[in-house]
Amino acid sequence: MKTTMEEVVRYYLLKMGKKGPVRRRIAIIGMYFCVSLFHFAHYIRDNRKRLAMVMMSLVIFIAYASFSFPIFPDGEEHKQNERLTALISDESVSLAPEAEVDLEGLEDWEEELLFEEDEAALLQEDEEDQIVLEDILTYRREQEERQDAVPESVGEQDREVFSFSSDDWRLILVNKQHPIPEDYDFTLATIKGSQQCDERIIDDLLAMMQAAKEAGFNLLIKSPYRSDTRQEWLFARKIRLYMGKGMSYMDAFKLSSQVVMVPDSSEHQIGLSLDIVCDTYGTLTQGFGETGAGIWLEEHCAEFGFIVRYPKGKEYITSVEYEPWHFRYVGVEAATVIMEQELTLEEFLEEID
């Protein structure tokens, strides 16, 4: 009969235990560990099939978990938060500790924050973004891409019968609840230099600026089309500004979204919106609405297909503060209805649906 390893080990340990008290202690300890080891080995041998199935299940679970990812009901918003978090992290923003905010002066402080940014950055943006009518016309003549004459005012075009459709590119709804569709496509045209907008609105834009000039107002285009990267940077910068004043990230995010649109929900990213001021009032503040140019634009922008996108008193619908400088192109027919009936784009689309 073949002698097993367990029997051999036990034999030598028992033999060792008979050679003195010291070796006996060593043999007892060795016997304890050897018995435990052989008992474990017997268990593995007798249950090898069951253990193999457990190991296989574990391997499959680990492999599956390595390629899995959480599914969120609003995937686009999740992507936006990831990009914004990365942008803020790049600037080494610390979320803690949070300073105590002076609630008594919060109202005045918020008004200041809504319209004040880093001065150096804003001065540079003003120089780069500001465009006047003469610049546009000169550039277009140099490029010889279009006719030299400013197109006839679209306010004089025939619009006897018109059927509205929410599928019309001019009426696309872009806001926090309706991000830019992934398959939305459009062609950019150069206004001047690096400044661009949807090529389909340039003629009407020039007509409006020319009409304003004839009325005695020199309009300035400060912010037409924005790239995705640009919009993300603007939003992240606003969050950093508020957090620097002691606000938490979530509070800064909420307040920032009232002033700068969340990335992928800004109409600037589809080239249909522009920020317009004038040579005597060049800041993007609510006071522009009380200037002669601001009043003229509100009264006549619809004649050229534009609307005041975020009107006063409709913040509960648009979720954006009153912006008398922000104009959105929707076409003459829709703009006429919207401005005459004092609607928002959201309300207009609900009516035609």
Active-site residue set: 323
What separation in angstroms does the CA of 207 have from each of 27, 250, 315? 104, 43, 30
Angstrom distance (rounded) from CA 315 to CA 319 = 5
Pairing outcome for strands 323-329 and 188-192 = unpaired
**Which residue's structure tokens are 């009901």?**
73
Helix axes 292-300, 202-214, angle to 10 degrees: 130
Beta strands in 3-92 (DSSP E): none
Angstrom distance (rounded) from CA 278 to CA 192 = 17
Output the six-digit token pair for 7: 């029997």
Q: What's the burial of 143, exposed, middle or buried (CB within 10 Å: 0-12/13-18/19+)?
A: exposed
Backbone angles phi, psi at 273, to 5 degrees: -120, 150
Q: What angle do CA 312, 314, 315 make, to 5 degrees?
A: 95
Amino acid at 148: D
Q: Which helix (H) or strand (E) holds 65?
A: helix 48-67
